[in-house]
Chain A
Amino acid sequence: MNSLDSRSLRIGDCYAQKFDIEGEVRYALSHSYLTRALDKDDFLITVNKRAQKGEPAQHTVHVTSKNGELTPDLNPLEIASGDIVLWYTTHPSVLGFAVTGVGPKFAFGSGALRAEGVYTHAFGVPGTFDWVNPLDPKIYGSVDVKAVDARDAKQLKAWYALLEKPAAFEIKDGKVSPKRVDIVVGQTVFWKVWNGDGVAITDKRLAEAGGTVYTSARR
């Protein structure tokens, strides 16, 4: 329910992508690996030229499920180049989804993070979580999550303050920094991908059990 897997986003996960190239972007929301090509019936993001003085904006897309179909609350979406689109869900019936898309001369997706792609995960249970990129096992790291017992108001307040502090991995030129982060239950970890052919962030146990190599979507 709180599994670490950018290929299957759940409550407490976010996927954010920065769009620098103007043009039409099509994307799909799926429960599993997308096996078909995207077409004009898929969700649309139009990336327009940025006004000279405009500051980059964030567009937050809330994903729900209607009659079994995954649905974004913003569609179609018009953004300016340099804007960020973030997908997330709060719907208990959304039991994991992936974002897979293509734009002019690039592909993107939560299962294959590329330049300016970010995956976030809030850790709900304590333990040590070794994660790996199943697309390239040389990219890996570890998150150590400590338990918290907040029995009084003071302990609760201290814990809430910790939740506002993120921890982060940066993946650049095939290298991960740092190799390990230490957090408490409830804190959020960010994975920022600067470049590369596609990174999936997956709990090592899931990657070893799954055995399926994920590739980017086709147009």
Chain B
Amino acid sequence: MSLTKTHHVFASAAETGINTFLNAIFSTRPHFLNYGSSLFVPVSTVAATNMATIQFPGVPGGVQWAISFAVPTVDLFPDSSGGASPLPPVAHTFNIHTTVVLRIGCMSGTGKDGRDGGKSTPLTTKLDAWALGEIIPHYFGPGTGFIGFQVDKVLLPDIKPGSLEAVLECLIKMLISGALQNVQLPFHAISLGALTLILEEGPTIEDNQIKVWGSI
């Protein structure tokens, strides 16, 4: 069977290519993966995005926090982990594996004798995170548009109790979804600029590739 099938052109990005794309995007614009309030990110730069503290009565200045994601690794359907993934991709989906680093600025009280009064000490935890998602096309016309990534489910293995796991999984899912909104894979990049694609079918995930078909 031909690559183009009943269409005139075909383009595909393999799993390795997608991961290289993501590596390029996140290494050039790491602020997509790093967020924090003023204790951790005093000002937005290319490296990190400054966020507001979490306001709470009695916490002067609000709760200082930060979250960072390692550059995620994508696995396009079918599963390439050899069964090691706790959340393998199913048809037309991908999974993401990343490490989430959560930090808070733990504020000490005034103390009996005023020791360590108002001091904020960073506390860090790392979570192994898996996510399942699908690709969303945004096509605007011949050669224009991009592929977006939508997260549908997150799994944080071995978090106890289960209710804490559910809360954290929902939290991480929202944060990963928010971060991935910035990741746009242009259609022209899927052919390395060889084709000005008029999209007719796809994008679909199959054979460890993202595939599109169309004409020019």
Direct contact of A and B (CB under 8 A): no
A: residues with CB less than 8 A from B are none
B: residues with CB less than 8 A from A are none
